[in-house]
Amino acid sequence: MAYDLLRQLVETPGVPGREERVRELVAEKFSAFGGQISTDAMGSLIAHIPGKGPRLALIAHMDEIGFLVSKIEPQGFVRVMPMGGIDARVFGAQKVMVHGRRDLPGIVGSIPPHLQKKASGPEAKNALPIEESFIDLGLPAEQVLASVRVGDPVTFATDGWENEHAFFAKALDDRVGLFVMLSAVAQAKKLDCDLFLIASTQEEYGLRGAGPAVFATQAEIVLALEGTVASDTPGLKLPPNTLATTQGKGPEIRISDQRMISDRRLVDFLVETAEAAAIPHQLIVKNTGATDAAISQTTGPGVKVCALSVPTRYIHSPMSVVQKRDVQSTIDLVVAVLETVSTINL
């Protein structure tokens, strides 16, 4: 399978509240499916492909973790506020892109070892807090002030790559979910439902966009398509009662997390569908994290939801990695759902 579209998606910047470039790209792809396309007040993109069967919404969020410019120092250094959960330990010395009146590459300033004071104790391992860090654009202050304003978005500017097994990139949470959605709808031979496609906003800033978008569709079933934490790396210790989400074993069918309990009949339908088509999958119970499924579930009179996720290593960092076979398995399962969802016993 070609990954050109996924590359387009991850290379298009969109921090919470500033998803307009991603929205433009996804709207172009939605238009190929026909139906009606609209943008709601929160900026979420909604496509409706009418059909017979249950009202099913597939949702994936457009935003990525990133920053907003919060202050510009007189010398031209740029300070930022994080938008989404970002560990300060992955921020220092990174290449970033400030999306001002023009896109400006820069680096997060760091202190050379020669100039560092030798701390002792726990402080010796602490990263410089993001609020104390700054971005160096390498430009005269007057040029920075002419091109950058408070509120401009900032993203990591790391270059992705792929090999025969894996795809490496920033923003796989959740551009991989959008990729799964678009690929599955394109590949489905029929649609056994009244289908809504939602590209939501501001998921990384409190799951803010999903509720209004799902409410507008009056969906009966919502399937959130995500990139989720792959907890299969060396040295990572999980609680004894927690099963690790592992790469190479197919999508995570999430039964619970910190803010959601999936509808059991929907979970059973996903498992039975996967087993019938010999699609690898993982059943996971956890009490951490949250997705757009949580907000979708409590919208209006309530909605039957589940989260279906591609295991992603190094999530919420400048570079993540997914296994292509997991991506393909997730697409295959969504295709099977689209073609048979009216058989579910709700």
Q: Which residues participate in catalysis according to the annotation?
A: 203
Q: How far apart are CA 327 and CA 177, in angstroms?
A: 9
| Strand ranges for 170-319 from DSSP E | 194-200, 221-229, 252-256, 282-285, 304-312
Q: Which of 41, 88, 85 is nearest to 258 (CA)?
A: 85
Structure tokens at 27: 């709207």
Q: Judge whether 305 and 253 are in contact, CB under 8 Å.
A: no
Residue whose entry in the numeric block shows the structure tokens 């409190």 = 206
> Interior CA angle at 113 toward 109 and 116, to 5°?
85
DSSP 3-state of 324: helix
Q: How far apart are CA 93 and CA 343, in angstroms?
A: 52
Q: How far apart are CA 70 and CA 161, in angstroms?
A: 31
For residue 327, the surrounding DSSP H or E stretch is: helix 324-340
For 59, 162, 285, 286, the CA distances from 255, given in Å and listed in that order, are 17, 31, 5, 8
40, with CB counted inside 10 A (0-12, 13-18, 19+), is middle
DSSP 3-state of 325: helix
Sign of CA dihedral 250, 255, 261, 264: positive
